Amino acid sequence: MDGKKPTVLPAPGNDSLPGKSAGPDGERRGLNNADKTLLLAAALFCLALWIRFRYPAELGARVFLFCAEAALVGGVADWFAVTALFEKPLGFPWHTAILPQRRPEFMVAATRLIQQDFFSRRRLFSLLESYDWRGTLIGWLQGDLVRERLRNALWRRMRQYALAVDCHQAAERIAASLRHEALLVPLPEILERLAAWLRAKDNDRRLLAQAAAYLRRRAETPAARAGIAAILEEVQEKKLEEMGPMARFLASMAQAAGIVDTEALAGLIQQEALAVLDEVAAPDSELQEQLRTLFYQQLALCGRDPAVVEAYATVREQLLQDLPLTETIEAALCSLRENLTEDTGAADGLAQAADKLIGNELARVLALFDEDEALQQRIDELAYDIAARSALQAQAMIGLIAREVMSRMTDEHLNFIVRDKIEPDLIWIRMNGSIVGAIIGLGLCAVLEIFRLFL
């Protein structure tokens, strides 16, 4: 509050007609034109009466008195009639104060007028159908301020959920579920899933090419060539021991003469191995296809081999018992929670990535409002349904509010509201009563004087 007095708006009406009868607080105000006209008629009547007594034989005095008397009577009668609508004029008890006495009927009529005419169902539904609810809703949602608030709300909700998670209990549940699912899945099904994943999107070819490239980098080194030469020498020694002293002697002679060179043989083997690896890495090569076919054949045989299936079951049970699943999952969940709840300003943090992901997904969802026609239709139906239900509820509430407001009004307030809206017309009715009374009085006086002349 700024300390200023509240401004009281004057009651609406015709400013050219000063002095409305009474305000809502019952305070009387100045005379209006009808009051002045009635006082003028009374003054003229007194003047006409004085002239009539002073000049009893004069025709003009009789006519003047007749007109003034009729004007005064008409003005008083109309004043009584208009005043009787709102209060009891001069305390007259019969058929006066009509509006206060008819308050219940007036409340029902006013409520019906508001509900059925001003806010009828046909008019409400016509307005609802002509309004672009979807455009308003989408425009509001796609505003920068609303989008930022939605993103912040989603981010806060995610952080609250992450902080409320009990990592130990969650890890126990996840580990128990993993163990249960692992015990239910047989080896053939696992191998089928593995084969399906490898075939999908050429994952097997890509893995073969990557494995061949890795092996080629290892095989082309001098250390690999030296290893091949060492293996050849070891094999040669074993063969010579098996063949006896004569074979050893001949082998030594051949090596001394340069007939047998393990280094050169190792180089040839290395070159052949590199050529094979290059062919395996080449896209859609024959050797690559042969390896793929052989791999899938052996994979299918493993799923049907009882020994392999039994070994898988034994290894699976042992792994499920020995692996620290609960501890590992709990550590991962705790680390994830810490990363999600850290400051989003941290560079390359998980929280920053999650915040960015929320923003991108929110933008994608909002973009669907302009692209998905089915979604637009559902939004139209939902928005219209909500607005229609709200309008029907508002229609009933408006009637209740109008009835409640009018029931709390005093008779003075109710009279003021009605009088304020029609007071200019009421003033003219009272003024017309004096004017018409004077005209009728003049006419009657003329008729009487004519009869007097002929009788």
Digit-coded pLDDT (tens) for 393-418: 776 777 777 777 777 777 787 778 77
Q: Tell me the CA distances in angstroms from 6 to 3, 25, 238, 416, one per residue in order.
A: 9, 16, 116, 21
Determine the average pLDDT of the residues in 34-46: 90
In a domain, 384, yes or no: no
Contact 354, 158 (CB under 8 A): yes
In a domain, 22, yes or no: no
Last residue of a domain, which of 340, 366, 401?
A: 340
pLDDT at 124: 66
Query: Is it the case that residue 41 has pLDDT exceeding 80?
Result: yes
The answer on 177 and 40 residing in a single domain is no
Determine the average pLDDT of the residues in 134-158: 77
pLDDT at 47: 92
Token pair, residue 15, equals: 């400013």
Query: Is it the case that residue 241 has pLDDT exceeding 70?
Result: no
In a domain, 25, yes or no: no
Band (11; pLDDT cuts 50, 70, 90): very low
In a domain, 353, yes or no: no
Identify the top-confidence range among 45-54, 111-120, 224-233, 356-365: 45-54
Query: Is it the case that residue 28 has pLDDT exceeding 60?
Result: no
Question: Average per-residue pLDDT in the chain?
Answer: 77
Domain count, the chain: 2
The answer on 78 and 169 residing in a single domain is no
Query: Is it the case that residue 27 has pLDDT exceeding 70?
Result: no
Cβ neighbors of 52 (< 8 A, separation 6 or more) are 61, 62, 64, 65
The answer on 188 and 320 residing in a single domain is yes
pLDDT at 451: 85
The answer on 418 and 335 residing in a single domain is no
Query: Is it the case that residue 206 has pLDDT exceeding 70?
Result: yes
Determine the average pLDDT of the residues in 306-320: 84
Band (15; pLDDT cuts 50, 70, 90): very low
Last residue of a domain, which of 280, 315, 340?
A: 340
Pick from 63-67, 180-184, 372-376: least confident: 372-376
Q: Which domain holds residue 49?
A: 33-101+411-454
In a domain, 14, yes or no: no
